[in-house]
């Protein structure tokens, strides 16, 4: 079963619809009771795909004048996996809808936080997929 050209399927415009910018404020409002307490913005990016796995990343980008300290982000994979504002289960359903019924998502999980730069940390989101029958 041919794999669609995923970088064109999961372009940034679509991913911004799946995880709009207001998600950041909603997340920090729920977490701290005040959206202004957040030190970073959250966005979703497509990394790569194979017939067995899709890889996305949550990008945590420091807000102006805020520090993106490792102690703020290293525990987040577990928080993101369960948090209703991030809603990874709903997010994976939206992603699956873009696969035109060719593949199904068997499971998803978050990887460990990675510091790309002092102003950008990423949390990998892995989706194990198989061809739909």
Q: What is the pLDDT of residues 74-85, one digit of tens each?
A: 788 999 999 999
Task: Kindly list the distances between the CA atom of residue 92 and the CA atoms of 65, 87, 100, 105, in Å, as whole numbers in the listed order.
Answer: 33, 9, 14, 8
Residues (pLDDT < 50) of the chain are 1-2
Owner of token pair 């890889």: 55
pLDDT given for residue 1 in this prediction = 43
Residue 4 has a pLDDT of 58
Q: What is the pLDDT of residues 51-67, one digit of tens each?
A: 899 999 999 999 988 88
Q: Where are the domains of the chain?
A: 6-131
Task: State residue 133's pLDDT score.
Answer: 79
Q: Residue 54: what pLDDT?
A: 95
Nearest residue to 111 via CA among 133, 132, 128, 93: 128
**Angle at the Cα of 56 from the Cα atoms of 108 and 63, rounded to 5 degrees:** 120
* Rounded distance between C-alpha atoms, residue 83 and residue 7, angstroms: 27
CA separation for the pair 23, 44 (Å, rounded): 11
Name the helix (H) or strand (E) containing 73.
Answer: helix 70-73
* Whole-prediction pTM: 0.90
Q: What is the per-residue pLDDT for 23?
A: 96
Kindly calculate the radius of gyration of the chain based on its CA atoms and give it in whole angstroms: 15
């Amino acid at each position: 079963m041919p794999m669609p050209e995923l970088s064109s399927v999961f372009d940034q415009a679509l991913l911004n619809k799946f995880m709009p910018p207001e998600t950041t404020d909603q997340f920090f409002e729920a977490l701290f009771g005040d959206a202004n307490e957040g030190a970073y913005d959250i966005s979703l990016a497509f990394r790569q795909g194979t017939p067995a796995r899709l890889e996305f990343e949550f990008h945590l980008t420091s807000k102006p004048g805020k520090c993106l300290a490792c102690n703020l982000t290293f525990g987040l994979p577990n928080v993101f996996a369960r948090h209703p504002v991030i809603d990874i289960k709903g997010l994976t359903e939206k992603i699956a809808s873009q696969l035109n019924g060719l593949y199904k998502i068997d499971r998803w999980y978050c990887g460990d936080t990675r510091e790309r730069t002092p102003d950008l940390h990423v949390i990998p989101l892995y989706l194990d997929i198989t061809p739909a029958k």
